[in-house]
């Protein structure tokens, strides 16, 4: 009877060990996949930020620097401080592993030397996932150019003041259901175009019109 009990226990122990090894293998595989995703996201963000930084006057907003949960007509800065993460680890891996770009300001005519944003800059903005803040005011952005930001459906703030955007370009904003503030003053949009947009984005506060004060809907 004792020998029988021992022989029964051994297969059970081996089965448990096999199951544990399989679970460990699955866990290691999932961890490797997660690390790969994080690394790819960080490298891609670094590439885009470095490319955008070549344009004069560009400003990049990071999640640890700006508080979008506070509400209000403009984003509110957080208290100054270093990025999250241990300093020794950030120095080895880079800050991009610990911070996320949430906004880009790419404005102005750059002294008339070149039209901005050009197609290359728009492609970079398009490839930044999950943007919450975007300013293209006083730029040469066109109705067709807005197609590049149509997939930025996480946007909360969007500035298109002092541009040539017309009603035709507003179709590219229809999927931005999280948009809370749209500034499109001194542009070519009409009351009819804004009314149609407001119908699809009822929670968006739209500031438009020429001169001061702006019309709010």
Instruction: Kindly give, in sequence order, each residue whose CB lies less than 8 Å from that of residue 195, ignoring residues fewer than 6 positions away.
Output: 217
* pLDDT of 89 strictly over 80: no
Peptide bond into 213 cis (omega under 30): yes
Euclidean distance between CA atoms 16 and 24, whole angstroms? 12
**Do 66 and 103 form a contact (C-beta atoms < 8 A)?**
yes
Give pLDDT tens digits for 160-197.
999 999 999 999 999 999 999 999 999 999 999 999 99
| 104 confidence band (pLDDT: 50, 70, 90) | very high
Number of C-beta neighbours around residue 199 at 10 A: 9
Kindly state the tokens that stand for 34. Answer: 């997660």
| Domains with residue ranges and CATH for the chain | 43-216 (3.80.10.10)
21-56 confidence digits (pLDDT tens):
777 676 767 666 665 666 678 889 899 999 998 888
Residue 67 belongs to what H/E stretch? strand 66-67
């Amino acid at each position: 009877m004792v020998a029988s009990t021992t022989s029964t226990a051994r297969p059970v122990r081996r089965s448990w060990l096999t199951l544990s090894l399989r679970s460990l293998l699955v866990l290691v595989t999932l961890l490797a996949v997660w690390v790969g995703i994080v690394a790819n996201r960080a490298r891609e963000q670094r590439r885009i930020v470095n490319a955008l930084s070549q344009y004069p006057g560009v400003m990049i907003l990071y999640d640890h620097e700006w508080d979008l949960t506070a509400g209000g007509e403009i984003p509110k800065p957080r208290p100054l401080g270093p990025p999250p993460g241990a300093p020794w680890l950030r120095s080895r891996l880079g800050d991009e592993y610990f911070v996320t770009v949430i906004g880009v300001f790419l404005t102005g005519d750059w002294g008339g030397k070149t039209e901005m944003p050009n197609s290359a800059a728009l492609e970079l903005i398009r490839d930044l996932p999950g943007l919450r803040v975007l300013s293209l005011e006083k730029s040469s952005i066109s109705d067709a150019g807005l197609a590049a930001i149509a997939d930025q459906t996480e946007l909360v703030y969007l500035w298109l003041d002092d541009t040539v955007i017309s009603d035709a370009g507003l179709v590219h904003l229809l999927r931005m259901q999280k948009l809370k503030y749209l500034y499109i003053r001194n542009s070519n949009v009409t009351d009819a175009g804004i009314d149609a947009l407001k119908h699809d984005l009822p929670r968006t506060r739209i500031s438009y019109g020429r001169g001061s004060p702006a019309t709010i809907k």
